[in-house]
Amino acid sequence: MLNIAKKIGLLVFITGFAVSTATAQSTTSSPYSRFGIGQPQKDYFVQSVGMGGISQGFRNFASINFANPASFSAIKLTSIDAGLFGGFTNLAKGTNAEGSYDYSISHLALAFPVSEKSGVSVGIVPLSNTGYQVINFGMVGNQDVAFLSTGEGGLSQFYLGAGYTIAENLSIGANLIYVFGNIKQRLAAEYLNDPETLNSRTTNNSNLGGLNIKLGIQYHKVLNEKDYLVIGYTGSANAKMDTRSDFLIERYEKNFLTDGENVLDTVEFRERQMGSATIPGSHTIGFLYQKDTKLTVGLDVNFTNWSAFKLNNNDPGFKNSIRVGAGLQYTPDVFAVTNYFNIVDYRLGINYNKSYLELNNKSINQVAVTGGLGLPILRSASKINLGLELGQRGTKQNNLVRERFAVFHLGVTFNDRWFVKRLFD
């Protein structure tokens, strides 16, 4: 067990990490993040990434599964899970292509047992990311104009969850979630051939916040001495959030000497415009089957009610989304003592997401193959998890953008026996 000084130091680290996670702007370079609240983020951690995003059946005494709060009832050790990601995206439209790099902290979570049948977890995870810069050229009258659309920001989730085993093979749980964040979007029109004509720009800076709740259930059964089955489900209803927006229209001229700009006039400014947003509810069901402590396979299906999404009484006409993920994990020999590679978890998976976006009569869907490793830290239950996603989002058909991406994920799980009463001092 860690001594008191180490525990205090670790708690200070957790607090600082949590604050930086909550205030940092997560990054993306997807032009599709301009719609709604941005590009939805994963509700699972790195172990699930390597297995195609499956999560509903995960239930472990030493790792945190935020996606299904019923799993918190299985926690037997105090666990801290932190993660980050970084990746490359190639954007292609017609014959043009460009690349971008993105990286960010992904999550921080803490869980600990309360009793033999219950556990609690708290953490911060992303909900959505916004990050894009799109330039289109057109005409206004007889003048050439560049239309620039940019956006940045995102939404995060701070959650407090608990799980409880209500019967021998049945557990339930709930996550109380506070959603918060900021999204800034700008649309500018710049005249290319006439420096006498003033450029114009509209800025919409929106803050969003509100409560949501996710309920979970898991049926877990030891089939025999070697086989184990978990069936899981989570669900949430549509949640109404408060929004507060600042709206600005201004005119400016380009300063070609400094490559900057001079704002000359404010056309309109509306501050603290109050409104609301409807965040869609979702339902996920899945299973996990473990064979002989070596092979684990699973499948998840998610449905999200995006047709209910509204932002300040505006209905963008989103479609309901469906995500399917499948994966496996193979561990050669969890009891090996002489060959480290025999206790490593090897993971593979695939997922498909029929998204809520439909543009130019085309659905903006995503498919990815995944892989990963679980690297045990010797003489402990702690583990380093690595995950890799290779996939594609969107299409070049109908004048749209195709994204091909490679994203690397790193997660670290630390374990210890906190909150256990000492028998001897």
Cβ-based neighbours of 251, under 8 Å, separated by 6 or more: 198, 199, 200, 201, 263, 264, 265, 267
Give the model's pLDDT for residue 321: 96
Radius of gyration from C-alpha coordinates of the chain? 24
Confidence band, pLDDT 50/70/90 cuts, at residue 379: confident
Q: What is the DSSP track for 340-396? A: GGGSSEEEEEEEEEE-S-EETTEE--EEEEEEEEEEEPTTSS-EEEEEEEEEEEE-S
Give the model's pLDDT for residue 422: 46
pLDDT tens column, 285-341: 999 999 988 999 999 999 999 999 999 888 999 999 999 999 999 999 988 888 999
Give the model's pLDDT for residue 103: 86
Mean pLDDT in residue range 146-166:
94
Cβ-based neighbours of 161, under 8 Å, separated by 6 or more: 66, 69, 72, 120, 121, 122, 173, 174, 175, 176
Cβ-based neighbours of 219, under 8 Å, separated by 6 or more: 169, 170, 230, 231, 232
